Amino acid sequence: MAGNPGANQYKQIAVKTATRGQILLLLYEAAIQNVKKATACLDKQDLAGKGTHIVKAHDILNELVNSLDIEIGGDVARNLERLYNFMTDQLVKANLENSKEALQQVQKLLETLLGGWRVAVEQVERKR
Give me the tens of pLDDT residue by residue for the chain, a chain 128 residues long. Answer: 456 776 666 455 555 667 889 999 999 999 999 999 999 999 999 999 999 999 999 999 999 999 999 999 999 999 999 999 999 999 999 999 999 999 999 999 999 999 999 999 999 888 87
**CATH code for the domain in which residue 47 is found:** 1.20.120.340
pTM equals: 0.86
Helix (H) or strand (E) holding 6: helix 5-16
Instruction: Tell me if 88 is assigned to some domain.
Output: yes
Q: Which domain holds residue 25?
A: 20-127
Judge whether 10 lies within some domain.
no
| Within-domain flag for 119 | yes
Say how far residue 116 (Cα) sits from the centre of its chain. Answer: 14
Number of domains in the chain: 1
Phi/psi zone of residue 99: left (φ > 0), alpha (ψ -120 to 50 degrees), beta?
beta
Phi-psi region of 19 (alpha: psi -120 to 50; beta: other; left: phi over 0): beta
